[in-house]
Amino acid sequence: MATSIHAFGEVKVGGRWYLHSKFKIDQSYSLFNKIAGINSDDYEEDILLPLKGIPKDVSLVTLRYYESYNEDAHSATWFNQSEIKQLIKWMIHKGRYSYSDIEQTFGYVFGQYWSSATDEKEYIPKDLQDVRFVFWFDN
């Protein structure tokens, strides 16, 4: 049975998280293994970070998406901005993705790369506090 990823970009503004983007990520078991240990028997690389589950302060819209999958949702986790940097570094160096692939997959947050969004203070809204990716899988 095929595994699908459900991935969302969230932004933190005024102390609350909001859904910014829903990503379309093509099926890639090497990527799925790296971020969540999916089909780990088929790959030699270790998972990037331990699974953390859905964030306790997840945005309401992302939560509703997650709840709609009921018991089919599994391997939920999230990455903060520094973890997004690790993911993108792996995608380029080990996962054979180009910068163009990454741009097409994740897009931008307020005109900036997700991995450096809050580093570019002069280019982002003043009240943007943080960014993260939230994702899970279903079969």
Check residue 40 and give its pLDDT.
60
In angstroms, how far is the first alpha carbon of the chain from the final one?
6
* Structure confidence at residue 10 as a pLDDT band (50, 70, 90): very high
Check residue 42 and give its pLDDT.
56
Strands (E), 14-99: 16-23, 74-80
For the segment 98-118, what is each residue's pLDDT rounded down to a tens digit? 888 888 889 888 888 888 887
Q: What is the token pair recorded at 28?
A: 């890639």
User: Has residue 135 got a pLDDT over 90?
Assistant: yes
For the segment 33-90, what is each residue's pLDDT rounded down to a tens digit? 889 988 766 555 688 899 999 999 999 999 999 999 989 999 999 999 999 999 988 8
Of the candidates 107, 106, 111, the residue with the CA atom closest to the CA atom of residue 123: 111
> pTM of the predicted model, to two decimals?
0.89
Burial 80-108 (b: 16+ CB within 10 A, else e): ebebbbbbbebbeeebebeeeebeebbee
Mean pLDDT of 12-18: 95
